[in-house]
Amino acid sequence: MDYRASEDLRLIQDLLGLSRPDISRATGISVPTLNRWASNKVSPDRTGLEALYSFAYRKRLRINHYKEQFLREDAPKPHIPLFHGAKSVLDGPISCSRSRSNNDFGKGFYCGETFDQAAMFVSGFPGSSVYALTFDPSDLVCKSYGVDLEWMLSIALCRGRLDEFADTPRAKTLIESLNAADYVVAPIADNRMYQIIDEFAHGEITSSQCEHALSATDLGMQYVIRSERAAAMLTLRERCFMCEPERAAYLHMGEDRARLGQDKARLARRNYRGKGTYVEELFHETR
């Protein structure tokens, strides 16, 4: 799926009130080249895309946010707008089988609810982009999680952090419940969360300390498409280009959130010290 450079070129012209010669002077892209882009006679190369979208971004046009707004307004009910951050190009039909098995909830196609969520996770990878999709959940089985013990244990089990407890009744029940779902809706976990979950899995902090430390990070919700039946209900809408200034902004945003989350997590460890249960006790309860 190519970027919609022709539509975005016209959008930039309309919003800024500029002619193509104006755009050409500002970006260094020749007018004949811009005309060929506008008529879809040729697809822009990455250098041209970077010049065009960086110019728009520096003019304070947030094109990808506009696209997100349009998608939310135009998506037919009950379709849900979703965003997938891809380190490279999505090639071929969407499938759950292509992902790694040691993700949050095992193999699946992972999406965020907002463009920002998806962009933050891939902004540090050259050539990455964000795909906008819609998802029809009709007649599919959903498993929903909050920031709670079930979520924490399920992620730790799927990521192989609790293999020593995999044969316990509690672990089997958690995995069976997960495997019955076509898709999952759950809080997003990132590297900071995995560190906290590891501390819990290694018996260094209690369930209450872990839960409140994870709740402090607050990255929003993710949709995990876990069955091919659910994957067939995804529709690719657009591939969104991220220029270098936009990537830099998302990297800074991620760093700021990381610092805030780390501070909150440290406070949660202190405030809930001695409260809750250690992981070994949780699984021994059901042996």
Residue range(s) in the chain whose domain bears CATH number 1.10.260.40: 1-61
pLDDT digits (tens, 9 = 90+) for 125-157: 988 999 999 999 999 999 999 988 899 899 999
Q: Pull the structure tokens for residue 246.
A: 């936009």
Expressed in angstroms, the distance from the first to the final Cα of the chain is 51
Q: pLDDT tier at 287 (50, 70, 90 boundaries)?
A: very low
pLDDT digits (tens, 9 = 90+) for 34-49: 999 999 989 999 999 9
Q: pLDDT tier at 285 (50, 70, 90 boundaries)?
A: low
Q: pLDDT tier at 96 (50, 70, 90 boundaries)?
A: confident
pLDDT exceeding 70 applies to what percent of the chain? Answer: 98
At the top level of CATH, which class does the domain 1-61 belong to? mainly alpha
Task: Give me the chain's average pLDDT, please.
Answer: 91
The per-residue pLDDT for 221 is 92
Q: Where are the alpha helices (DSSP H) in the chain?
A: 5-16, 20-27, 31-38, 46-58, 63-74, 115-122, 149-158, 169-179, 191-201, 207-217, 228-231, 244-271, 279-284
